[in-house]
Amino acid sequence: MLEIKNLHASIDGKEILRGINLTVNAGEVHAIMGPNGSGKSTLSNVIAGRDGYEITQGTVTYKGENLLQLKAEERAQRGVFLAFQYPVEIPGVSNIYLLKAALNAVRKYQGLDDLDAIDFLTLVRSKLELVKMDEEFLHRGVNEGFSGGEKKRNEILQMALLEPSLAILDETDSGLDIDALKTVSDGVNALRSSDRSIVMITHYQRLLDYIVPDFVHVLSEGQIVKTGGKELALELEAKGYSWVNKNA
């Protein structure tokens, strides 16, 4: 699904990713943990195709294609999805308009017609239920006046609708209370399948109680310094990030 080899990325001449190697196969769930500033969001942005990063070395391959030469929208249309750490508020664009435009963009790439209004609404309603969101949210501006938890749920709603092949969740758990965390996790778990991969970026072990990963990686100063199974997260929680740095 995703193969990252020796990826180096800088911004304004400052190197932030310093040789990332990561292979994610179809059906796997990977967790990437690491202290603030270690480069987690940078890695997600580079995979999703944000402009402004300079890739100085390395490759990113997605379903056999060189991901780095595709535009952000082309990646999205091919099934790459990023749930943002800080979802943006866009007054003036209604949630339902966004969902429709996004779904139709993906369907167009797949050679499918736009969904008609009734089928679309039926589909959206089923996804709203999954993330326990009220229909009223559809008619508000994107994330406009949403609480932190509602914003994160809205990201999962978009993901559930678009059914990506590769989902990157950038600290989707941070700022959630336990109920919201459970709802969001249920939403993610419902999407787990043998042809879909999930990369969860998180600061805390707690999320991994709900979404159990196949692999855990520790990112530190732009490099993956340790990889293990889900027990690595517990060890990390107990000993702190300084433990990995010392062992690196």
Ligand X SMILES: Nc1ncnc2c1ncn2[C@@H]1O[C@H](COP(=O)(O)OP(=O)(O)O)[C@@H](O)[C@H]1O
Report the interface residues with ligand X, using CB under 6 A. 11-12, 14, 16, 34, 36-42
Helical H segments across the chain, by residue range: 40-48, 72-77, 95-109, 117-130, 148-162, 178-191, 207-210, 231-239, 241-247
Distances (CA, A) of 1 to 106, 123, 171, 239: 18, 27, 21, 32
- Say which entry of ligand X, other proteins, Mg ion, none residue 183 contacts (CB below 5 to 8 A, set by partner kind): none
Q: How many CB atoms lie within 10 A of CB 111?
A: 6
- Asked if residue 54 lies in contact with residue 14, where contact means CB atoms within 8 angstroms, the answer is no
CB of 47 to ligand X, least distance (A): 12
Using rule CB under 8 A, residue 187 touches other proteins: no
- Asked if residue 55 lies in contact with residue 68, where contact means CB atoms within 8 angstroms, the answer is yes
Among positions 11, 55, 96, 105, the unique one binding other proteins when judged by CB under 8 A: 105
Per-residue x/- marks for other proteins, 142-171, CB under 8 A? ----------------x---x---------
- Say which entry of Mg ion, ligand X, other proteins, none residue 12 contacts (CB below 5 to 8 A, set by partner kind): ligand X
State the DSSP code for 138. G
Among positions 5, 8, 18, 50, the unique one binding other proteins when judged by CB under 8 A: 50
Nearer to Mg ion by Cβ, of 85 and 158: the residue is 85
Please identify which residue in the block is written with the tokens 């929208």.
73
CB of 111 to ligand X, least distance (A): 36
